[in-house]
Each structure stands twice: as structure tokens, then as C-alpha cells.
Amino acid sequence: MSRPVIAVSSYLEPAKWGAWDLVAAVLPHWYVDLFQEAGARVIIIPPDVDADVSVLDRVDGLVLVGGADVDARLYGQPPHDTADTPRESRDASELALYRGARQRGLPVFGICRGLQIMAVAHGGSLHQHVPDISELTHRIAPGSFNDHQAHFVEGSLIASILGAGAYTVNSSHHQAVADAGDLFVSGYASDGTVEVAEDPSAAFVLGVQWHPEHPERREGDALLIKAFCAAAVRYRSEQ
């Protein structure tokens, strides 16, 4: 069977390369490497103001990646003083992609911000500044990663893949899921903050707060990425 085709969301940010210094649709290549190494073809999806998500009819799975804070106004709160400038087009685009993927029964994998988008799409909300609610360091500084312990709920999808015991994750976030809406929270950090949420009614709809795309995570999180890609292969075979 041919390789599954995975749609991966991307950033819309100021970028500089060669002679150019302008806003660009960009994606850290770590994400591309992650899924290519697992045997998938990667299609990068830039933010789009058009609500049409028919591009999902051509893929076998959707990945929502990390990045800037989700706009708090989407879950009825004023932005915290520490919040990033809203990326309105990206928020709207990823919410539309997620909802379109769910309508089609596509496998979905959310990473960091991606988990938070999933929670908001399900009627949930976020802690806008994790240091306000926890003494555990989830991010030393922007662009840095901090390891800490997590555990997964027995019987959940994430536990079936990675086990239900203690697990080391790498954090780089200052916001976290406060309420996952009607998603099932299946993983917690050692301070009780949400590390994983999933939909038990779906074949594979799962978001994690950590960063499996980081090169140092490739071996430890390999089973998780393989499970997502296997779900994409099954989806293709059933169409």
C-alpha cells in the first residue's frame, strides 16, 4: 500500500531568508521529519481565511501543530497580559480543519497548541498562564524544553500505545487545557495539568501537550507516531 498522506497545519509568521523579510507560511522541519520518518507523505496546510476544508477529502489524517497562544476570546475570556498577539486566521483555519476532519472520520493528532485547539473546538477552555496555577516548570523560556513526569489513564488510547505508568514528557508551553470540553482527559502531568485528551468514540483522535517532533523525542515517542500513521493507513483502506 502507498504511504498515507498526512495534512499538517502551519504557522503564518514574519520570516527572513535570503533577500526576503516578510510574512510567510512556515513550519519547523522537525514536524516534516517526524512523519516522513514514520512512513507518511506530508502536505503542509497554511492558514486560510476560506472556511472550505475540502482539501481534507484528499488526505488520510490531520496533524495540528504547536505555536502561538489560542485567542482567549474563542472561549469567552479576555486575553491574559502574557498572551501572544492573536493569530486569528490560524485559529479560524485550524478550528475549521479540525471540525472538517471529525465530520469525515479522519484520524487527528494534536501537538501542544493542537491539543488546545481541540479542547476549544469541543467547548473547553485554557489556563492562560500556567505559572499562575502550578509551581512545576512547563517552560523555562520561549524556545526551550523542560522534561517532567506524566501519567496516563489505564484503558485509554494513549495508555494502550505508551503504557499507563510514569512517562517523561518535554514541555514548552505557558498555557494549558483547563477544560477539555467533551473530550476525555487521559493524561496528566505530575502537577495535575492536562497532558493528553482524546475521543474514545473515534478510531484515533488524540492530542498531547508535549513535543514528540523534537529530535530527542523520536525514539521515545516512536510508538505514538506509528500508531497515528497506522490509523491513517486504516482510514485510507476503508474509503
Q: What is the pLDDT of residues 218-233, one digit of tens each?
A: 999 999 999 999 999 9
pLDDT digits (tens, 9 = 90+) for 95-109: 999 999 999 999 999
Q: What is the pLDDT of residue 131?
A: 81
Instruction: Exactly one of 127, 138, 173, 211 is catalytic; name it.
Output: 211
Mean pLDDT of 120-145: 84
Question: Known catalytic residue: 129?
Answer: no
Give the range of the structural domain holding residue 224, as residue numbers without chain letter: 5-238
The enclosing domain of 127 has a CATH number of 3.40.50.880
Q: What is the pLDDT of residue 140?
A: 74
d(CA 51, CA 42): 21
pLDDT digits (tens, 9 = 90+) for 204-217: 999 999 999 999 99
For the chain, give the mean pLDDT: 94
Number of structural domains, the chain?
1
Cell of 43: 502536505
Mean pLDDT of 36-55: 94
Q: What is the pLDDT of residue 125?
A: 98
Q: What is the pLDDT of residue 143?
A: 79
pLDDT digits (tens, 9 = 90+) for 192-202: 999 999 999 99
Confidence category of residue 113, pLDDT binned at 50, 70, 90: very high
| pTM (two decimals) | 0.96
Instruction: Exactly one of 94, 195, 198, 213 is catalytic; name it.
Output: 213
Question: Known catalytic residue: 213?
Answer: yes
Instruction: Exactly one of 94, 112, 195, 198 is catalytic; name it.
Output: 112
d(CA 145, CA 214): 9
Q: What is the pLDDT of residue 146?
A: 83
Contact call for residues 47 and 64 (beta carbons, < 8 A)? no
Question: Known catalytic residue: 216?
Answer: no
pLDDT digits (tens, 9 = 90+) for 166-186: 899 988 888 999 999 999 999
Indicate whether 137 pLDDT > 80: no
Residue 143: count of CB within 10 angstroms of its CB: 7
Q: At what angle do helices 222-238 and 29-37 cross, to 10 degrees?
A: 70
Mean pLDDT of 154-162: 97
Q: What is the pLDDT of residue 72?
A: 97
Indicate whether 1 pLDDT > 70: no
% the chain with pLDDT above 90: 83
